[in-house]
Structure 1
Amino acid sequence: MVFSDPQSLSGKRILLVVGGGVAAYKALDLVRRLRERGAAVRAVLTAAAARFVTPLSFASLTGERVYEDLFSLTDEQEMGHIRLSREVDLVVVAPATAHLLARMAQGLADDLATTLLLATDKRTLVAPAMNLRMWLHPATQRNVAILRGDGALFVGPDEGEMACGEYGPGRMAEPLAIVAAIEAALRVDTRLPLPGAAPGPLAGRHVLVTSGPTREPIDPARFLSNRSSGKQGHAIAAAAARGGARVTLVSGPVEIADPQGVATRHVETAQQMLAAVEAALPADIFIGAAAVADWRVEPSADKIKKSASGAPPTLALRENPDILARVAQRGAGRPALVVGFAAETRDVLAHAQEKLARKGCDLIVANDVGAGVFGADSNEVHLVTRTGVQSWPRLGKDEVAARLVAYICESLAAGGTP
């Protein structure tokens, strides 16, 4: 079942910035989907966007005037770009071309779209769309990293065939996936709280999160590990912090920055991670997103050399501590909610359900990692509980994090576990 509410966006105000690209036609369907769910939509078109889709089409679907010109005298007498950027709940950029991403990342304000993006005090959700080489280019990836660091949320791009005939990442996310990301963004405020702002839904709670891989040394030069990037776990920690929680993040070795507003503890091995987790308890919520190595070896003090015969060395494996099970089965002092992750390559739901029962946790977030998910910026997950399965469409990992935190908040507000 995909999480959906026919009036999930009732009363919400969306400002849609449409960039110039073939995918601009999808923005028309996005407007329709948003209106179906009760949202009010205003559209702003770049000059390039108006060459692909007409302002009249957006005016017909939104029921609102469409905005294009920064220098409209009537609007600017009322400081129109400020008003447009503030009188909304969320700004959505779809499609976001490579050029538009670059202007956003550099803080340029040379037309109405970029001026209001710079002037807004609201969250911004970005749906990129471009040729795969443009998306994979280091310059675009730098711009995306800058925008993520500034707090922008991303959905997509998807992988598939493009108008240019090439195949790969770069297709704009489908309208329903963007709607799901919008719902997630509006359920939990993913910005850092402003001074004097009302407390978030997790205020007064301690959330403990594990993230990234562990490294189990073989000798001074080698180790056993896995492909986990830590992106999902770090995003969850950041979303919980922005929801008002006091967050402790226990991170294995990763190549991404510590989230803002989070107390981060850095570890290498599974045993070190267990010690850091136990030191951070008690907690109200535990989210075990780390990919903890199942096995370790007794490391050699010296680098292991090849034998004269060329025979490989024998490594005696020992089982690592099961951090998730220890927390879930803690008894007194157990967190009110224990969430685990299951990265599988086949029979995803069956393995997740078995893990839920075996570990004793309340919720398993399951995904298929057989298609290059490790290190990617998006994820497609299933929430597995004792009462059923809830499947979400592919979303950016920031959006998955925001949506998971919102789900947790709703569960706690209901007075129980999922």
Structure 2
Amino acid sequence: MRKLSILGVTGSIGTQTLDVIRKSNGELGLIGITANTSVEKVIEIIEEFKPLYVAMMDLKSAYEIKNYCKKQNKAIEVLEGIEGLNKIASLDEIDIVLTSVVGMIGLGPTMKAIKAKKDIALANKETLVVAGEIVMKAAKENNIKILPVDSEHSAIFQALRGNDINTLRKVILTASGGPFRGKIIDELKEIKVEDALKHPKWNMGRKISIDSATLMNKGLEVIEAHWLFNCDYDNIQVVVHPQSIIHSMVEYTDGSIIAQLGAQDMKLPIQYALNYEKRGNLIADTIDFYEISKLTFEKPDSDTFKALNLSFKAGKIGGLMPTILNGANEAAVELFLDKKIKFLEISDIIEKCMELFKAEVKNELTLENIIDLDKRVKEYVVETSVL
């Protein structure tokens, strides 16, 4: 049995990971879980999976879980806050950590897990976006694997398997185009939150759904791909593929292109990461090529959806610039979800912050500087953007 912890067990990726465990025929065991405030969901998970450790970020929720475990005579260690998150990520009993918490909060626990020599099934984009250089260096020093869970990076990872990385010419990231594909700027001025959350292909959390609508999600994936596959930004191409059947492709030096295809189901890349280096059982629908009929491809409209170009720019500048990009985006998306700014303002705010804080880029790339700058960028966005 391969034993794991899930950071962010009640989110979209976390709940789908539970389904992967259910269907693993006992090959995967759940030892530790973390959540924020979802007490009822965590209790259901405790009853079904019987983890040994639970951490709740919210102190009141942790108290409720402790009381429940005490009344039910359950020998579960209940932890709280960031310290609890860090412990769940680095337990002696586990082999691998699936990090699916949203935002910068995932960076610290991921580093703790790496230093504890635990393999990482990575579903937290921000970790590599803001600290890719630090994370990949630490992974190499501790001889652990960073196994991508994003469907796009999992596809690239699979397409590269068995081939010499030095023969890689180009990474081709596919994008669905989001809910507003084909729309012009004038059509986006009065976009409502409810419309932005309606992704045409994938069932995702609120934050990532907005990122998909702005194409920021694809921009963050570009920066991730740079670090995961040691690929120059000029050799990373984004292609809109509305059917979302091809999850991404790689082109080799001889011009050959290998693509990974599959159903629109996140359980596939989750299972691949947790079972690596072998494949698991059939866990999602298979593709019927007679029904698909055609696959189409388009160039992304990065003038209308400028978050994509801003991501390429931040990645090429490097240093702390991706921290500025990511921090501004996280804060702006939250403001949009709270209906305090308009949809198009998200990218405007990111661009403004990249210019305003650009002098910070020359500072040393350390975890302390990343965390500090992230905090200051978010505070600026909130203080200057609330109507």
What range describes the TM-score normalised by the shorter chain of this pair? 0.3 to 0.5
Higher normalized helix content (fraction of residues): 2
Higher normalized strand content (fraction of residues): 1
TM-score, scaled relative to structure 2: 0.33
